[in-house]
Amino acid sequence: MSIIYDEQSKQFHLTNGSLSYIIRILENGSIGQVYCGKALRIENPLPAPIPFKGFSNNDKSFARFEYPVYGSGDFRQPAFKLRFADGSVVAEPEYQEHRIYAGKKEVPGLPSTYTEKPSEAETLELELLDNVSGVKIVLYYTIFGEYNCIARHTAFVNPGDQTVFIENGMSLSLDLPDPHWNMITLTGAWAREFEVSDAPLRPGFQGIQSMRGISGAQTNPALILRRPATTEHHGEALGFSLLYSGNFTAAVEVDQWDITRVMIGINSDTFSWELKSTGVFHTPEAVLVFSDEGLNGLSQQFHGLYRSRLARGKWRDAERPVLLNNWEGTYFDFTEAKILEMAALSRELGVELFVLDDGWFGKRDDDHSSLGDWFPHKTKLPEGVTGLAKKVTALGIMFGLWIEPEMVNPDSDLFRAHPDWAVHTPERVRTEQRYQYVLDMGRPEVIDYLFKVLSDILKDAPISYIKWDMNRSITEPYSLSLSAEQQGEFFHRYVLGVYDLYARLTAAFPDLLFESCASGGARFDPGMLHYAPQGWLSDDTDGLERIHIQDGASLVYPISSISAHVSAVPNHQTARITPLSFRGMVAFFGVLGYELDPAKLKPEEQEAVKKQIAFYKAHRQTFQFGSFYRLVSPLRHSLSGRFAAWMTVSPDGSEAIVGVFKILSNPNQRPLTLKLTGLESAADYQVTIWETGGFAEADRHYNCGTRGGDELMNAGLMLECTDHHSPRKGDFFSELFLLKRK
Query: What positions carry a catalytic annotation?
Result: 469, 539
Q: Minimum CB separation from ligand GLA for residue 536, in Å?
A: 6
Residues 383-402 that bind ligand GLA (CB under 6 A): 402
Choice between 409 and 471, CB closer to ligand GLA = 471
The SS3 call for residue 183 is strand
**Is the distance from CB of 734 to CB of 693 less than 8 angstroms?**
yes
Does residue 524 touch ligand GLA according to CB under 6 A?
A: no
**Is the distance from CB of 521 to CB of 217 less than 8 angstroms?**
yes
The SS3 call for residue 338 is helix
Does residue 517 touch ligand GLA according to CB under 6 A?
A: yes
The Cα–Cα gap between 90 and 111 comes to: 31
Q: Minimum CB separation from ligand GLA for residue 14, in Å?
A: 40
Choice between 539 and 691, CB closer to ligand GLA = 539
Burial of 612-627, coded b for 16+ CB within 10 Å and e otherwise, reads bbebbeebbebbbbbb
Choice between 155 and 517, CB closer to ligand GLA = 517
> Angle at Cα 503 formed by Cα 501 and Cα 507, nearest 5°?
120
The Cα–Cα gap between 498 and 488 comes to: 17
Largest distance between two CA atoms of the chain: 83
Q: Minimum CB separation from ligand GLA for residue 475, in Å?
A: 18
Choice between 164 and 407, CB closer to ligand GLA = 407
Does residue 358 touch ligand GLA according to CB under 6 A?
A: yes
Choice between 428 and 434, CB closer to ligand GLA = 434
**Is the distance from CB of 562 to CB of 311 less than 8 angstroms?**
no
Does residue 446 touch ligand GLA according to CB under 6 A?
A: no
**Is the distance from CB of 158 to CB of 279 less than 8 angstroms?**
yes
Residues 262-281 that bind ligand GLA (CB under 6 A): none
Does residue 536 touch ligand GLA according to CB under 6 A?
A: yes
DSSP 127: E
Choice between 259 and 470, CB closer to ligand GLA = 470
| 187 CB-near residues (< 8 Å, 6+ apart) | 195, 197, 208, 218, 219, 220
Residues 621-680 that bind ligand GLA (CB under 6 A): none
| 360 CB-near residues (< 8 Å, 6+ apart) | 376, 377, 380, 381, 385, 401, 402
**Is the distance from CB of 527 to CB of 216 less than 8 angstroms?**
no
Choice between 291 and 541, CB closer to ligand GLA = 541
Does residue 406 touch ligand GLA according to CB under 6 A?
A: no
Bridge partners for 632 per DSSP: 645
Does residue 542 touch ligand GLA according to CB under 6 A?
A: no
The Cα–Cα gap between 411 and 650 comes to: 50
Does residue 690 touch ligand GLA according to CB under 6 A?
A: no
Choice between 26 and 407, CB closer to ligand GLA = 407
The Cα–Cα gap between 556 and 306 comes to: 9
The Cα–Cα gap between 452 and 705 comes to: 59
Question: According to CB under 6 A, which one of 111, 329, 477, 520 is a site residue for ligand GLA?
Answer: 520
Listed ranges 66-74, 251-259, 335-343, 515-523: which one lies at the site for ligand GLA (CB under 6 A): 515-523
| 571 CB-near residues (< 8 Å, 6+ apart) | 541, 542, 543, 577, 578
Nearest by Cα to 637 from 292, 233, 239, 293: 233
**Is the distance from CB of 398 to CB of 356 less than 8 angstroms?**
no
Does residue 70 touch ligand GLA according to CB under 6 A?
A: no
**Is the distance from CB of 677 to CB of 296 less than 8 angstroms?**
yes
Q: Minimum CB separation from ligand GLA for residue 517, in Å?
A: 5
Hey, what amino acid is at 525?
D
Listed ranges 108-116, 195-203, 231-239, 516-524: which one lies at the site for ligand GLA (CB under 6 A): 516-524
Hey, what amino acid is at 85?
A
> Angle at Cα 714 formed by Cα 710 and Cα 716, nearest 5°?
100
Nearest by Cα to 96 from 136, 71, 123, 128: 128
Does residue 519 touch ligand GLA according to CB under 6 A?
A: yes
Of all residues in the shown chain, the one whose CB is closest to ligand GLA is 358
Listed ranges 261-269, 384-392, 494-502, 512-520: which one lies at the site for ligand GLA (CB under 6 A): 512-520
Helix (H) or strand (E) holding 714: helix 709-714
Choice between 433 and 686, CB closer to ligand GLA = 433
Q: Minimum CB separation from ligand GLA for residue 336, in Å?
A: 19
Count of residues near ligand GLA by CB under 6 A: 11
Q: Is the peptide bond before 570 cis (omega within 30 degrees of 0)?
A: yes
Residues 567-586 that bind ligand GLA (CB under 6 A): none
Provide the mask over 455-494, with x wherever binding to ligand GLA is found by CB under 6 A and - wherever it is not.
--------------x-x-----------------------
The Cα–Cα gap between 612 and 20 comes to: 45
Does residue 513 touch ligand GLA according to CB under 6 A?
A: no
Chain centroid to Cα 278, Å, comes to: 34
CB atoms within 10 A of CB 314: 12
Q: Minimum CB separation from ligand GLA for residue 331, in Å?
A: 8
| 575 CB-near residues (< 8 Å, 6+ apart) | none
Choice between 255 and 469, CB closer to ligand GLA = 469
Choice between 236 and 539, CB closer to ligand GLA = 539
Does residue 539 touch ligand GLA according to CB under 6 A?
A: yes
Residues 321-340 that bind ligand GLA (CB under 6 A): 327
Nearest by Cα to 595 from 353, 398, 377, 363: 353
CB atoms within 10 A of CB 597: 18
Choice between 195 and 723, CB closer to ligand GLA = 195
Q: Minimum CB separation from ligand GLA for residue 541, in Å?
A: 9
Nearest by Cα to 474 from 504, 441, 520, 447: 441
The SS3 call for residue 694 is coil
Nearest by Cα to 435 from 461, 415, 465: 415
**Is the distance from CB of 580 to CB of 605 less than 8 angstroms?**
yes
Q: Minimum CB separation from ligand GLA for residue 30, in Å?
A: 46
Q: Minimum CB separation from ligand GLA for residue 324, in Å?
A: 13
Does residue 357 touch ligand GLA according to CB under 6 A?
A: yes
Listed ranges 111-119, 517-525, 556-564, 687-695: which one lies at the site for ligand GLA (CB under 6 A): 517-525
Q: Minimum CB separation from ligand GLA for residue 333, in Å?
A: 13
Listed ranges 370-378, 514-522, 692-700, 714-722: which one lies at the site for ligand GLA (CB under 6 A): 514-522
The Cα–Cα gap between 324 and 315 comes to: 18
Q: Minimum CB separation from ligand GLA for residue 404, in Å?
A: 7
Choice between 446 and 537, CB closer to ligand GLA = 537
> Angle at Cα 41 formed by Cα 40 and Cα 42, nearest 5°?
110
Q: Minimum CB separation from ligand GLA for residue 358, in Å?
A: 3
Q: Minimum CB separation from ligand GLA for residue 332, in Å?
A: 8
Listed ranges 305-313, 375-383, 513-521, 690-698: which one lies at the site for ligand GLA (CB under 6 A): 513-521
> Interface with ligand GLA by CB under 6 A: which residues?
327, 357-358, 402, 469, 471, 517, 519-520, 536, 539
